[in-house]
Amino acid sequence: MRVRVAYAIDLEGVPQKVCSLLSELDLVSLSKLNDLTHTDLLEKGNVPSALARLQEIRDTLVKVDQRAEDCINILIGYQRYLSGAEDPPIEGDDPTDEDL
Supply the pTM of this predicted model. 0.69
Question: What pLDDT does residue 7 have?
Answer: 78
Segment 5-32, tens digit of pLDDT = 887 899 999 999 999 988 887 666 677 6
Question: What pLDDT does residue 80 have?
Answer: 92
**Ranges of residues in the chain whose predicted pLDDT is under 70:** 26-29, 32, 35-38, 86-100
Question: What pLDDT does residue 97 have?
Answer: 47
In three state form, how does the secondary structure of the chain look? CCCCCCCCCCHHHHHHHHHHHHHCCCHHHHHHHHHHHCCHHHHCCCHHHHHHHHHHHHHHHHHHHHHHHHHHHHHHHHHHHHCCCCCCCCCCCCHHHHHC
Q: How far is the C-alpha of 20 from the C-alpha of 35, rounded, in Å?
A: 26
Question: What pLDDT does residue 90 have?
Answer: 58
Question: What pLDDT does residue 58 have?
Answer: 87
Question: What pLDDT does residue 41 have?
Answer: 75
